[in-house]
Each structure stands twice: as C-alpha cells, then as structure tokens.
Amino acid sequence: MHIHVSGSGPALVLIHGWALHGGIFAPLVERLAPHCQLHVVDLPGHGFSRDDSTPLKLPYLVNAIAAATPPAVWCGWSLGGLVALHAAATLPQVRGLAMLAATPRLVRAADWPDAVEPAVFEQFGQDLQQDYRGTLERFLALDVMGSQHARSELRTLRDALVERGEPEPRALHEGLALLERTDLRGALPALHKPGLWIGGQRDRLVAASAMHRAAAQTPAGLHVAHTIDGGGHAPFLGHADPVAGLLQRFVADCG
C-alpha cells in the first residue's frame, strides 16, 4: 500500500474516500506539513496502490495502515472515516480520531434518518457494470452538490480522479459494499479517545446533523463537532483554511 510521508511534527494519517486517492488532500498537506508529519494513504485499488490486492474490508485496511505508520491521529474522509473510526476503536496506537464528512453509518435506517438511501449505493453498483466512467462522474457531482464552491471543487475532483490512474473496478465494488453495509455506531460509547468531527453545512451525502448526532454518542467531553458554513461533502477543498486550522489544533492537543 502506498503511503506518502511529508512534513514534520506529530503524526497524522489521512485516508481518502471512495474512488479517489491521497492526492485529493493536497490543500491540507500544503497547510499542515509545517506542523505535522503527514502519512497520506492510497487505499488498495486506488492511486499508486492500484495493484495492491488487499481487500477493502476494515480489519485488513486498518492492520495494513497501522503496520506502516507510527502512533498517530487518524483522519478519514467519507469512506476513509469508516477506516479511521474502526482503527480508533480497535488499535491503541491511534491517538485521536478526526472525521471529515463521515459518520459511523452512511446508509439510512429507521433510527438513522439523516443518511443516504440504500438504493443509491445499489444503483451505483449496477451502473458501474454498464457505464464505469459515467458512474464515477455522477458520484463526483454528488460530492460537491450544494457546496458554496461546487464548480471549482468538481474540477479538482475530476482532475484528481485520473491523476494517478483510474481506480481498480474490483476496489470500487468492494468500496460500495463497505459503504452500504458498515455500521459502527456501537463503537461510539466506548471511544475513549479525543475526537474531532468536521462536516459541511451543505453536504448532500453526509448530513452535518448526523455527524453531530454521532459525536454526541461518544463519551462526554472527548469529542467535538464543527460545521463548515457553505461546505459540501469535501469541505477541505473549498474551505481548506478553516479545516486545516481545526486539524492542526486537534493534532497538537493530542500530542
């Protein structure tokens, strides 16, 4: 698995979302490198890890990343948040958890209303078989829908998608299954590590209300949630300064 290391200071692991790669974090890397040692992951089947056959299942991913990184704060965006949350719940070397537009469950349920309808992920899985590139394009459009800076963010995502080669189809299907089936809400009450939850006010995939609800289910006083005004599902693109500022302070507080 490819993990790019840069910067100096306390360690921060960055884990990207579905269909993209670690290069999408460039705005954060630029701002955080003077303050943190950054370990930017390309998940298996994505980016420079395109030929890595590790299954996109949480235990495999968490163990592989942990074996290649020092004790650190783990930060995950969207699908990457599921990886980071599972790591924080199971590994002592995770010093803190930062969730970027991520919750423990991304699919709607009777007791979890502010989430994506199950049919959305099912449809993406079917569409990948018929129109691979068109399906990716539609998903990127969902990432930026509602954002104050939607046009520029969509250009960035489109460029990033092909910058390191297209993702492996196998990994896309496994990633969709991970998004559709994972429910980590049960880990929240016992998550006795510092947590930072950052969401976009206009996010159409991960509602800020769901992110705040998840943070409230963790031990009192350990987790805080912030909403980025005007932000969409990738708030670190159009609002890089406030997101980087929150992360910088959080990592410093975690030691």
What is the per-residue pLDDT across 167-201, written as a single tens digit (0 to 9) for each?
A: 999 999 999 999 999 999 999 999 999 999 999 99
User: Which residues are annotated as catalytic?
Assistant: 78, 203, 233
pLDDT in tens, 27-69: 999 999 999 999 999 999 999 999 999 999 999 999 999 999 9
Q: How confident is the model at residue 51, as a pLDDT?
A: 95
Task: Give the pLDDT confidence score for residue 99 in this predicted structure.
Answer: 98
pLDDT of residue 12: 98
What does the alpha-carbon distance between residue 132 and residue 62 come to, in Å, rounded to a whole number?
A: 28
The mean per-residue pLDDT over the stretch 134-155 comes to 83
pLDDT of residue 171: 93
Write down the pLDDT at residue 179: 94
Kindly state the helix (H) or strand (E) to which residue 200 belongs, with its residue range. strand 195-200
Give the pTM: 0.94
Please say if the pLDDT value at position 241 is more than 80.
yes
Whether the predicted pLDDT of 162 surpasses 80: no
Q: Mean pLDDT over residues 68-90, rounded?
A: 98
Separation of alpha carbons 178 and 128, rounded Å: 16
Hey, how many other C-beta atoms are within 10 angstroms of the C-beta on 48?
16
Phi, psi (degrees; rounded to nearest 5) at 95 = -85, -20
Residue 127 is predicted with a pLDDT of 82
Contact 47, 22 (CB under 8 A): yes
Q: Regarding predicted confidence, which is higher, 144 or 28?
A: 28
The answer regarding whether domain 3-254 maps to CATH 3.40.50.1820 reads: yes
The pLDDT, as a whole number, for residue 223 is 95
Both tokens assigned to 186? 């049960």
Q: Which helix (H) or strand (E) holds 100?
A: strand 94-100
- Cα gap 83→41, rounded to integer Å: 11
Task: Decide: 141 and 222 in contact? Cβ < 8 Å.
Answer: no
- Residue 172: partners with Cβ closer than 8 Å, 6 or more residues away: 18, 19, 45, 128
Residue 133 has pLDDT above 90, yes or no: no
pLDDT at 137 over 90: no
Q: Where are the alpha helices (DSSP H) in the chain?
A: 26-32, 58-67, 79-90, 118-130, 132-144, 150-163, 169-181, 208-216, 235-238, 240-254
Nearest to 13 by CA among 32, 30, 46, 38: 38
**Reduced to 3 states, what is the DSSP secondary structure of residue 210?**
helix
pLDDT at residue 128, as a whole number: 80
